[in-house]
Amino acid sequence: MTLRLSAWANSVGWSPTNKNCFIATQDSVLTIIDTSSQKILSVYLYHAPICHIIPQTDTSLFVIGFDRHIYEYSEDKNSGDNWTWSCKRNITGGLYPVKRTPTTTDNKVINVNEQKGSIMDMMKKFEVGQKKQSLVITSTNNQNIHSAPVNSANVTNNSMITTDNAGFLKIWKF
């Protein structure tokens, strides 16, 4: 199977039984592939792009965003024939993310070869075409999150251990 992603991949993970493959891209999209049926699902994230994926079961996973928050995603049990996944909670606190849908500007094609107007006019056209719907990036004002990017994470029992580039270790109880 070959898959064309919308941006470069930041992280890839597999569910414990290899039923699902998870791919996080820089444009805040989580792609989920059901390996048995070859179904592909794109989950458009409300928060910053994902830098780490930590699968728990075939139907749930933890992710760490570049905003240094930890989120729990799971398959929606009551979705019927529609296969959907969504964010269930923000482990580190802060804004509770919601699933977003792409806007018409997400895939708008801008012709950059037009020679009309100033360079500022051209940049404005490019911004309109590239802007995504409200991505929230939190600051280090939140004392609960790491002050530097998270570089590793591991889950055991009902807790997660994370370390950051500044050398700090945090334990998160669920």
142, pLDDT greater than 60: no
Statement: the pTM of the whole predicted model exceeds 0.95: no
Measured between alpha carbons, how far is 42 from 22 in angstroms, rounded to an integer? 10
pLDDT mean over 115-143? 52
**Does the pLDDT at position 169 exceed 80?**
yes
| pLDDT higher than threshold 50 for residue 103 | no
Contact 146, 93 (CB under 8 A): no
pLDDT surpasses 70 at 102: no
CB neighbour list of residue 57: distance below 8 Å, 6 or more residues apart: 15, 16
Residues forming a β-bridge with 100? 44
Largest interatomic CA distance in the chain: 61
DSSP-derived secondary structure for 129-163: HHPPS--B---TT-TTS-SS-EEEEEEETTEEEEE
pLDDT of residue 73: 94
> Per-residue confidence at 113, pLDDT binned at 50, 70, 90?
very low
Mean pLDDT of the residues in the chain: 78
Q: What is the DSSP letter of 164?
A: E
Do residues 165 and 149 touch, judged by C-beta distance below 8 A?
yes
Answer for the pair 34, 49: CB distance below 8 angstroms, yes or no. no
- Residue 107: pLDDT over 60: no
Q: Is pLDDT of 11 > 60?
A: yes
d(CA 76, CA 59): 9
C-alpha 139/C-alpha 120 separation (Å) is 29
Mean of pLDDT values over 62-73:
93
Domains of the chain in sequence order: 9-97+136-173 (2.130.10.10), 104-135 (no CATH)
